[in-house]
Amino acid sequence: MNTEIDKIAWLHIVDGRILTARSKGKDTYYLPGGKREPGESDIDTLVREIEEELSVRINRKTAARVDSFHAAAHGKLEGVQVTMTCYTADYEGELNPASEIEALAWFTYKDRERVSAVCQMIFDYLHNEKMLAD
């Protein structure tokens, strides 16, 4: 069994608030992005997933790796870990939930408890770096 989930996430922060997404039927919010397909690069995954989930096109030339974070995978069997590699990037288009995404929300650090474990680690990092508002 694969005990490591490899995900790419988009950190889209505006005025100290970060864009989050919630899938249909779920109560936890995540950072937009998703799992890599076989043979895909980080940027290929980022572009595909963000277009599928949010109906916007990532500008590849502006994509910048922030860091990778590791935690227990939310809603999976015990022992399953997720590695989330995060990127910032500019985009074109209008943000709209698509595919399995039911809602978008702009969170600050006070919303930390509403996101998955790995996203909480990312919120901590962004808050410590003064990128995420209280």
Q: Return the SS3 of 129.
A: coil
**The pLDDT of residue 71:** 86
Q: What is the pTM of this model?
A: 0.92
Q: Could you give all domains of the chain from N- to C-terminal order, each with its CATH number? A: 4-128 (3.90.79.10)
Q: By CB neighbour count within 10 A (0-12 exposed, 13-18 middle, 19+ buried), where does 9 fall?
A: buried
What does the alpha-carbon distance between residue 11 and residue 62 come to, in Å, rounded to a whole number?
Answer: 13
Percent of the chain at pLDDT exceeding 70: 99
The answer, yes or no, to whether residue 77 has pLDDT greater than 60, is: yes
- C-alpha of 113 from chain center: 15
pLDDT tens figures, 92-114: 999 999 988 999 999 999 999 99
DSSP letter for 127, please.
H
Summarised one tens digit per residue, pLDDT across range 16-53 is 999 999 999 988 999 999 999 999 999 999 999 999 99
